[in-house]
C-alpha cells in the first residue's frame, strides 16, 4: 500500500512543499567492540587544587556527570552507550580519597543502627557473595562496583560509607576509594572480634565489666542470646558450651576459615559472647541457626521447639566431623578429647526358668561384656509418686545426684525389654562430663510425660570414684576423683491457656546456669534475661543437662585425677 502523503494547499507552489532537509535519524546503538580492539584510555587530566577542592581541568563537573548518568539509568527508553558509561565511571571512581578529604562522610556513620548478627546476604539480591554493610543504616548490599546494589544505594539514598564483611575494609561509594582511619577500628572489631592468647587466658582470672553504646553495663561472656521465635533450646546449649574452657579457647583463637561453615559460625558466636567492646549487651544467634537448619535438613529451626539434649548430641557429633574427626577412631578430634569417655556394659538375656530363684540375678556364664564410648551420660529418675500426701498437696520428690549415679556402679541392674544390663565407668575419664537427667518419657498415649523429681547436688567436689573401675595407672585405689559443675540447663513448665479440650497447656522454658571463674558466683540466663543466682539455689530446679569439669589434682596418678 502506498504511503499517503499530506495534502498541498492549492495556492502553494510545488517547490515550497518539498522539505529542505531530511528529518533527524534516531540514535543507533553501535555493536559493542571487544576491549582488546579499543584504544587505551587517555591519561587523566591534571588536577587543580583550588580553594581546598580537587577538580579536574577541562572535564565536566563530577556531580553533573553523576546526575546525568543516574537520570539515564532510570529512564528505560533512553539507553546509555557502553563507551559513555565507562568514561563517566572512570570519572566517578577514585583509588584514594582526595587530599584533605580522607574523613569525608565518616560523621554520617550511625553506630547505634549497626547489627552484624544477622545473616550476611544482600537485602536486594539475597546473594551472600561480596556482602557490604552500609554503616549509616546497617543494611546489607552486594558488591561496590558500578550497577551493584550498594552503588545505587549510595546514589539514591545518599549513604556513602560501607564495610566489606569478609575483609573488613571500609569504602566510600560511589567514589570507590578505601578509608583507612583508626576511628573505624571499633566497628571492625565488632564485625569479627579477634583475641590474643593472653586475652583469652585472662578471661577466667579477672572479670571486668563493660558498657555498650547505650551505657548499659554487662559482663563479657554473660550476655543474653536473642530468642528469635523458638530457638531457646539452642541458646542454652550455646551458652553452656561457651563456658567449657578448652572448647571456648579453641573457637576464639583457631583460624577456621578453611573449615566448614558450622564451626565457623559457632566460633563467631563464641567470640561475640565474650566481646568486651560490643555495641549492645546481647547477641543474636541468627547466622549460626541458619547454618544449623541447613546442615540438619531443617530438623532444628528457629520457628519450632526441640529437645536441648537431642540438639546437643547432634551439634557435638557434627562439630566432631567438621573439625576432622573420624567416625570410627576414638579421640580423633578436640570434641572427643574434651567429652568422650568409655564404659563397660554387661548384658544378659532374661529367661523364664522354673529353677531360677532370682529372675534378676546375673549368671556369670551367660554375661556378655563390651566396652562402649560415650559423650553423654544418661541418668534415670525414680518413678514419681502417683498420689497426694495427707495434706492433699502435690508432692515434688527429691533424689540426690549420687543416688542416681548408682546406675554406673557396676552392681545395680537395669532392665531393657528382655535384657538386663549393668554399667561401669572406665579410665581415663574425660576432662568434662555431660550428664542428662532423663525427665521425659512417652506414655501409652504416645505423649511425652514429664518426671518432676528434683535432683539435689553440691556444685563443688562431686566424687565419681565409686562409679569408676579402679585402675592404678590413672588413680590410686580409694582416691577421690572430683568434678565441679560448670553449666546446668534447667527446665520449667509454664501453664498457658489452650483452646483445646484440655483447656491448659504447658510451655517449655529452658534456662541455663553458668559459673563465673573457678571460684566465682553463678549467673542464670533465659534468652535476653541475665541475672545472678546464689549457689545454694542451683539444686532447687529441674536440672536437665549438667556439664562437670574434672578438677586437676597433683600427684594422683596418670593424668592428674584420671
Across the range 316-322, mean pLDDT stands at: 96
Mean pLDDT of 345-353: 77
Q: For position 450, what pLDDT does the model report?
A: 86
Strand runs (DSSP E) across 114-226, as ranges?
Answer: 131-134, 140-142, 161-164, 170-172, 177-179, 210-211, 217-218, 224-225
More confident: 32 or 393: 393
Helix (H/G/I), strand (E/B), else coil: 456? strand
Here the cell at position 481 is 576423683
CB of 270 closer than 8 Å to CB of 248: yes
Percent of the chain with pLDDT over 90: 53
Q: Look at residue 439 in the predicted model and tell me its pLDDT.
A: 92
Angle at 219 between CA 213 and CA 222, to 5 degrees: 115
pLDDT band at 43 (very low <50, low <70, confident <90, very high): low
**CA-CA distances (angstroms) from residue 279 to 105, 114, 192, 273, 282?**
21, 8, 13, 12, 9
Q: How far is CA 375 from the centre of its chain?
A: 22
Most confident of 4-18, 283-297, 513-527: 283-297
Task: Identify the pLDDT of residue 189.
Answer: 95
Q: What are phi and psi of 502, to 5 degrees?
A: -65, -35
Largest CA distance in the chain: 139
Helix axes 261-273, 245-253, angle to 10 degrees: 100
> CA angle, 241 as apex, 237 and 244 as ends, to 5°?
155
pLDDT tens per residue across span 373-428? 999 999 999 887 766 555 555 578 899 999 999 999 988 888 887 788 899 999 99
Residue position matching grid coordinates 498420689: 387
- Range from 159-173, 246-260, 448-462, 544-558 carrying the lowest mean pLDDT: 544-558
Rounded to whole angstroms, the Cα distance separating 477 from 405 reads 19
pLDDT confidence tier of residue 104, bands split at 50, 70 and 90: confident
CA-nearest of 174, 178, 176, 142 to 156 is 174
What does pLDDT average to over the chain?
80
Closest CA to 97 of 188, 173, 183, 186: 173
Higher-pLDDT residue of 76, 19: 19
Determine the pLDDT at residue 44.
54
Distant-in-sequence contacts of 397-404, Cβ < 8 A, 24+ apart: 397/452, 397/453, 397/454, 398/453, 398/454, 398/455, 398/456, 399/453, 399/454, 399/455, 399/456, 400/455, 400/456, 400/457, 401/455, 401/456, 401/457, 401/462, 402/462, 404/379, 404/380, 404/437, 404/455
Burial 354-379 (b: 16+ CB within 10 A, else e): eeeeeeeeeeeeeeeeeeeebbbbeb
What's the pLDDT score for residue 390? 55
- For residue 501, pLDDT beyond 60: no
DSSP 527: T
* 11-23 pLDDT per residue, tens: 455 445 444 444 4
Q: Using 50, 70 and 90 to split pLDDT, how confident is the model at 353?
A: low
Neighbouring CB atoms inside 10 A of 248's CB total 21
**What's 535's DSSP letter?**
G
Cβ count near 521 (within 10 Å): 12
Residue 409 is given by DSSP the state B
| Rounded CA separation 114/108 (Å) | 13
C-alpha cell at 18: 518539498
Q: What domains are there in the chain, each with its CATH number? A: 106-190 (3.30.40.10), 193-338 (3.90.70.10), 340-350+364-385+393-550 (3.90.70.10)
pLDDT of residue 89: 47
Asked whether residue 7 carries a pLDDT value surpassing 80, the answer given is no
Burial of 225 (0-12, 13-18, 19+ CB in 10 A): buried
Q: How many CB atoms lie within 10 A of CB 343?
A: 19
The CA distance from 381 to 403, in Å, is 10
**Rounded-to-integer distance, Cα 306 and Cα 439, Å:** 14
Per-residue pLDDT, averaged over 491-503, amounts to 66
More confident residue, 92 or 179: 179
Query: Which residue's entry shows cell 559423650?
Result: 375
475, 427 Cβ separation under 8 angstroms: yes
Least reliable range by pLDDT among 49-58, 201-210, 431-440: 49-58
Confidence of residue 473 (pLDDT cuts 50, 70, 90): confident
554 falls in which pLDDT band (50, 70, 90)? low
SS3 assignment for 199-257: HHHCCCCCCCCEECCCCCEECCCCCEECCCCCCHHHHHHHHHHCCCHHHHHHHHHCCCC
From 42-56, 66-80, 136-150, 468-482, the region with the lowest mean pLDDT = 66-80
Q: Which of 398, 512, 408, 513 has its CA nearest to residue 455?
A: 398
Q: Is the pLDDT of residue 352 over 70?
A: no
In the prediction, which pLDDT does 208 show? 85
Q: Cis bond leading into 428, ω under 30°? A: yes
**Residue-wise pLDDT tens digits, 144-153:** 888 899 999 9
Res. 356 pLDDT band, cuts 50 70 90: low
Give percent of the chain above pLDDT 70.
74
Q: Is the model's pLDDT at 318 over the cut of 80?
A: yes
Residues in contact with 440: Cβ distance below 8 Å, sequence separation at least 6, in sequence order: 307, 448, 449, 450, 451
Q: What is the pLDDT of residues 301-315, one digit of tens each?
A: 988 989 999 999 999
In sequence order, what are the beta bridge partners of 145?
Answer: none
Amino acid at each position: 500500500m502506498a504511503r499517503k502523503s499530506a495534502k498541498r494547499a492549492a495556492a502553494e507552489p510545488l517547490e515550497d512543499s518539498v522539505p529542505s532537509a531530511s528529518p533527524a535519524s534516531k540514535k543507533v546503538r553501535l555493536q559493542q567492540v571487544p576491549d582488546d580492539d579499543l584504544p587505551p584510555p587517555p591519561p587523566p587530566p591534571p588536577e587543580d587544587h583550588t580553594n581546598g577542592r580537587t577538580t579536574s581541568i577541562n572535564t565536566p563537573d563530577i556531580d553533573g556527570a553523576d546526575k546525568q548518568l543516574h537520570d539515564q539509568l532510570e529512564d528505560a527508553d533512553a539507553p546509555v552507550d557502553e563507551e559513555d558509561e565507562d568514561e563517566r565511571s572512570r570519572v566517578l571512581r577514585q583509588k584514594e580519597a582526595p587530599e584533605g578529604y580522607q574523613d569525608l562522610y565518616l560523621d554520617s556513620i550511625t553506630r547505634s543502627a549497626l547489627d552484624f548478627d544477622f545473616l550476611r546476604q544482600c537485602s536486594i539480591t539475597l546473594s551472600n557473595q561480596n556482602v557490604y554493610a552500609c554503616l549509616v543504616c546497617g543494611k546489607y548490599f552486594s558488591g561496590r562496583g558500578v550497577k551493584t546494589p550498594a552503588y545505587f544505594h549510595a546514589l539514591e539514598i545518599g549513604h556513602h560509607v560501607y564495610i566489606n564483611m569478609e575483609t573488613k575494609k571500609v569504602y566510600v561509594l560511589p567514589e570507590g576509594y578505601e578509608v583507612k582511619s583508626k576511628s573505624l577500628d571499633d566497628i571492625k572489631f565488632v564485625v569479627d572480634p579477634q583475641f590474643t592468647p593472653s586475652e583469652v587466658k585472662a578471661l577466667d582470672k579477672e572479670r571486668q565489666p563493660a558498657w555498650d553504646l547505650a551505657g548499659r553495663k554487662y559482663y563479657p561472656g554473660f550476655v543474653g542470646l536473642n530468642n528469635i521465635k523458638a530457638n531457646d533450646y539452642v541458646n542454652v546449649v550455646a551458652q553452656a558450651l561457651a563456658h567449657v574452657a578448652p572448647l571456648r579457647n579453641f573457637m576464639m583463637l583457631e583460624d577456621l576459615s578453611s573449615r566448614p561453615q558450622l564451626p565457623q559460625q559457632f566460633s563467631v558466636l563464641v567470640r561475640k559472647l565474650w566481646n568486651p567492646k560490643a555495641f549492645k549487651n546481647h547477641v543474636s544467634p541468627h547466622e549460626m541457626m541458619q547454618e544449623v537448619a541447613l546442615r540438619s535438613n531443617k530438623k532444628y529451626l528457629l520457628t519450632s521447639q526441640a529437645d536441648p539434649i537431642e540438639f546437643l548430641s547432634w551439634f557435638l557429633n557434627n562439630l566432631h566431623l567438621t573439625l576432622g574427626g573420624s567416625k570410627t577412631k576414638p579421640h580423633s578430634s578436640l570434641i572427643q578429647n574434651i567429652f568422650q569417655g568409655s564404659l563397660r556394659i554387661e548384658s544378659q538375656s532374661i529367661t523364664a526358668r522354673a529353677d531360677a530363684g532370682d529372675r534378676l540375678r546375673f549368671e556369670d556364664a551367660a554375661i556378655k561384656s563390651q566396652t562402649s564410648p560415650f559423650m553423654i551420660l544418661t541418668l534415670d529418675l525414680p518413678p514419681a509418686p502417683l498420689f497426694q500426701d495427707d495434706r492433699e498437696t502435690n508432692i515434688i520428690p527429691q533424689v540426690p545426684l549420687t543416688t542416681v549415679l548408682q546406675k554406673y556402679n557396676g552392681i545395680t541392674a537395669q532392665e531393657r525389654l528382655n535384657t538386663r544390663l549393668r554399667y561401669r565407668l572406665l579410665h581415663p575419664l574425660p576432662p568434662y562430663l555431660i550428664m542428662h537427667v532423663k525427665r521425659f518419657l512417652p506414655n501409652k498415649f504416645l505423649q511425652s510425660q514429664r518426671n518432676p523429681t528434683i535432683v539435689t547436688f553440691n556444685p563443688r567436689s562431686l566424687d565419681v570414684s565409686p562409679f569408676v573401675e579402679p585402675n592404678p595407672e590413672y588413680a590410686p585405689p580409694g582416691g577421690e576423683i572430683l568434678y565441679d559443675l560448670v553449666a546446668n540447663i534447667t527446665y520449667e513448665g509454664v501453664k498457658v491457656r489452650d483452646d483445646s479440650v484440655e483447656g491448659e497447656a504447658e510451655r517449655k522454658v529452658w534456662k541455663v546456669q553458668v559459673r563465673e571463674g573457678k571460684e566465682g558466683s553463678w549467673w542464670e540466663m533465659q534468652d535476653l534475661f541475665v541475672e545472678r543466682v546464689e549457689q545454694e539455689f542451683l539444686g532447687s530446679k529441674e536440672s536437665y543437662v549438667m556439664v562437670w569439669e574434672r578438677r586437676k589434682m597433683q600427684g594422683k596418678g596418670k593424668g592428674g585425677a584420671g
